[in-house]
Amino acid sequence: MAEPKEDETGTGEETEVERAVSNNLGVVIHFFLSALAVLLLAAAAIAAYDTVIREFPALWQRQDEYVVLQRIIETILLVAIAAEFALLLLFHRMSAAVEVVVFVIARKTVSPEITALDLLLCAAAIAGLIILRFHYLPGKTT
């Protein structure tokens, strides 16, 4: 077997400096993504609290309950998107990415401006993503 030339890209062992930079950069990136995930979860918790305090009492007031309920559902789905996105930042799982997309599509279906075709396409997309999540992604799905 012929030995690779020294000047070829990607051959040979990495130097100690390259290894140190790679390890330290990986730690910094992981710490940065973890900090972003914590900030995102804190914002989601604040939004959930704000929804419970401000939006839920509006259901009992003399208003259009449908509009209030729609706003509550949109906010809850937005909090769910934030939480799933934080999981994606922390663990880099494909299943978390699929769940984020499912929540985004579900939030789109709540909009009153959605057409029947949009609703049908959203339902088909959610069904396809659920099938993908449970049948084609490796690992534990429950």
0.95 cut: is pTM over it? no
Q: Decide: 100 and 37 in contact? Cβ < 8 Å.
A: no
Q: What is the pLDDT of residue 118?
A: 92
Give 12-81 as a DSSP string. SPPPHHHHHHHHHHHHHHHHHHHHHHHHHHHHHHHHHHHIIIIIGGGGGSSS-HHHHHHHHHHHHHHHHH
Q: What is the pLDDT of residue 1?
A: 55
Greater confidence, 118 or 62? 118
Of 41-45, 62-66, 94-98, 118-122, where does mean pLDDT reach its minimum?
Answer: 62-66
